[in-house]
Structure 1
């Protein structure tokens, strides 16, 4: 693998009408496993956002009018280049974000699929004919671009969660300003900008401006940005939704989750524990769909807890760039301290620590807590770390009530030997995604993805939902001869 700290065109820069310096200067790229400075990135400020929005608004019109096959060809070329540069992008994902190589490779392939799906969008029907009560009137309802779409992407799956908005937004004729998180700006922003630049995307159609809250706020509030697609915490999402509501601006919010796996009394315990471990510990639990609550029938709870703890104890934690491990580092100290505080407070309230509960630097051991009740922080809070809290229930009604206690409603899973029972239970669970005999962390590029309640505003990413998410509907009617009205 190449050395990631070699001189690159993006080093210390932002991407806005080519590579250039940012008003906010530069920031270091820090490897969470070691604390080593890998490189520098440009930091955008409101002035950079303003220049980008003006440029994007101008470039968008010619991009939208480009023949659909030419737009599709650019997106296909971007997909090819993404695959061609997989080694470089994956290495940055490992070192910058603490991903394991397997997670990085999965994310890159999923992003590749997102690009191919987006490349097929321009050739799809972009409207429909509707009948009219007026003789001779032609009614067309069609999807038209929003204009400029602002995308604010997180650090946990920075490539995929940026591209699932960037690619379809571009495909239907929008220009895009992407603000990646400063902790993942290389893999989740600057390398993607390089891919699109080399794929032939016209200048000004895509801007990548890393930055913090001030930069994001400027993007949300800019009058030339017609839509915001945000993936991140519920607290920040509420603020963005409020601003966009006041400005009558379209907004897509994919927010947090406190997702439950429900293990019914007839479940295959080995399979359920496997799903529970994968859902709880994948990428150190730093996933919005993480299995944060394990709800287990009383008759199986001891067996499930034992099997889950056994799986957790076998997982290796360490530097994914240097060693073959299952879990890498948490993204920063603030996240680590928050996770540990939830664990320690829950133990102090009566939860039983079966394994884990310790850390070294940013490496947190996979943790299993038994005897968790619904008033403990391990039950009520989104953990976003490698912690599996187990709560007991006695019947299906109680299980559903426990799932729906949370204000979040992103994902859930149900384990049972009866598919019909699982499907019946799924209809009572308030979540945007429910998986029977699987775990909560699922994504397929062509299926609408999103949550309910505090997990989002009802918007969806993926497949046909993308047409509605990144466009506006326009009604056009036409008559061959004008109507003569009474006055």
Structure 2
């Protein structure tokens, strides 16, 4: 068992340990250390000591370390993939691309985009000798989720390190193995002690201590809206900068001219990706009422085409949920219902935390299936009359993380997309873009990750009045 990575070395935790279960077999695959408030304090103080030196490190040297992390992840692609499969239960081919290759790309992209990022620049509308520079926010407390254990660490750590911040990561204690291995790779990349620190632990103990620590300058959180509100409250007492990426109940709007034979299977695949354990999953399919029967048939066929089983099998497209607790949560929503269940009853493996992919139709806008984030393979079909009702229905949830629009007319789809309050809107099946800003409106949070916007999130602008370019 690895403990904590603090100040450039591995250390024993003050807290206890937790067994880590393979969600496919329900067997233990190891144990993770549970750091406490004292462990968090050690890590934050190490990061605070390291910040002055790291923030002043020459850009070329600093970005060289960030690129090296990306290179090392790429070299250990297969090893990290197997850890994700065992830890999370995601099918191997999907895990390799989405869970490991993407984080390697994020580190490389952050280094590339950060070149010259902090150079002084003129300010439009200001005096000719007024310049602005972007300075690192300081010590960053990063609290990351279990559903994308490496990608979310990368999305926070890569840009923070690239712009000169130091970082303390509190990864999920449920899916910790890949995060611990990443810490070993970051150690091998040769960063100065204290620049990167990893403290596994529970949210109420380690996460709360990190958000509230007086030496943390910024908190970046990804997780549930309920927990995010608690993090924001704890951080707010210290007047810290806070970035929150939280839940979603994302709609996919099929306009009346949409190619349903393409759009519906694409939406089902998106909704069930990672067994539905994705914050931006398109879990509400909005269909013109006249085309609802056609969409129902296509959705059932797409859902039932999924192969549910061992994520190590090449044919599997839908692995288990992450834990028994998550399985019971999802099954509770399915049993509670709302609308009409048209598929979701099939034989499943005897062991493991498996849920059958479920599709409900004619789901009322106020049903819990349509308003609450389920985080499992459950899709809701909702009918509408007219474009205005479709837009209103798309916004009939407390979230605003992601959305999609399909139409034979791309300009029409883009016009409708502009009317939907969501951080990202995918038009006609456009895929995820690591360089695009990712984040939400309303209860989906605030702040952005990805590309240049991710770099800006970990900086503060400073005005130099009467300055000169140096």
TM category (shorter chain) comes to: over 0.9
Return 316-325 or 396-405, whichever deviates more.
316-325
Q: Give the 5 Å matches for 1:78-477.
A: 78-107=69-98, 108-126=100-118, 127-130=120-123, 138-187=129-178, 189-213=179-203, 214-322=205-313, 324-346=315-337, 349-356=338-345, 361-438=352-429, 442-457=431-446, 459-477=447-465
Return 315-324 or 280-289, whichever deviates more.
315-324
The 1:303/1:227 distance shift into structure 2, 3 A limit, reads same
Q: CA deviation at 1:357?
A: 7.4
Does the Cα contact within 8 Å between 1:343 and 1:357 map onto a contact in 2? no
Q: In the alignment, which of 25, 28, 33 is matched to residue 34 of structure 1?
A: 25
The 1:201/1:373 distance shift into structure 2, 3 A limit, reads same
Give the secondary structure class of the aligned counterpart of 1:464. Answer: helix
**2: distance between equivalents of 1:402 and 1:341?**
24
**2: distance between equivalents of 1:169 and 1:94?**
28
Q: CA deviation at 1:138?
A: 3.4
**2: distance between equivalents of 1:479 and 1:411?**
41
Give the secondary structure class of the aligned counterpart of 1:32. Answer: coil
Number of the residue aligned with 1:3: none
**1: distance between equivalents of 2:87 and 2:420?**
37
Q: CA deviation at 1:264?
A: 1.6
**1: distance between equivalents of 2:454 and 2:10?**
29
Q: CA deviation at 1:324?
A: 3.2
Q: Does 1:52 align with 2:43?
A: yes
Q: CA deviation at 1:70?
A: 0.8
> Which protein has the larger Cα radius of gyration, Structure 1 or Structure 2?
1
**2: distance between equivalents of 1:299 and 1:292?**
21
Does the Cα contact within 8 Å between 1:357 and 1:367 map onto a contact in 2? no
Does the Cα contact within 8 Å between 2:300 and 2:342 map onto a contact in 1? no
**2: distance between equivalents of 1:345 and 1:353?**
15
Q: CA deviation at 1:394?
A: 1.4
**2: distance between equivalents of 1:219 and 1:444?**
30
Give the secondary structure class of the aligned counterpart of 2:201. Answer: coil
Give the secondary structure class of the aligned counterpart of 1:454. Answer: helix
**1: distance between equivalents of 2:3 and 2:384?**
54
Q: CA deviation at 1:246?
A: 2.8
**2: distance between equivalents of 1:358 and 1:401?**
38
**2: distance between equivalents of 1:58 and 1:420?**
53
Return 258-267 or 224-233, whichever deviates more.
258-267
Does the Cα contact within 8 Å between 1:132 and 1:139 map onto a contact in 2? no
The 1:141/1:36 distance shift into structure 2, 3 A limit, reads same
Does the Cα contact within 8 Å between 2:339 and 2:360 map onto a contact in 1? no
**2: distance between equivalents of 1:411 and 1:76?**
30
Give the secondary structure class of the aligned counterpart of 2:24. Answer: coil
Q: In the alignment, which of 6, 28, 34 is matched to residue 16 of structure 1?
A: 6
**1: distance between equivalents of 2:33 and 2:405?**
45
Pairwise CA RMSD = 1.8
Q: CA deviation at 1:341?
A: 1.6
**1: distance between equivalents of 2:51 and 2:217?**
12
TM-score by length of 2: 0.94
For structure 1, which runs of at least 5 residues remain unmatched after alignment?
1-10, 481-487
The 1:393/1:133 distance shift into structure 2, 3 A limit, reads closer
The 1:302/1:53 distance shift into structure 2, 3 A limit, reads same
Q: CA deviation at 1:479?
A: 7.2
CA offsets 1:428-479 (integer angstroms, 9 cap, x no match): 111111112117xx4322111111111112x111122123200111122347
TM-score by length of 1: 0.91
Q: CA deviation at 1:321?
A: 2.6
Return 469-478 or 446-455, whichever deviates more.
469-478
Give the secondary structure class of the aligned counterpart of 1:183. Answer: coil
Give the secondary structure class of the aligned counterpart of 1:409. Answer: coil
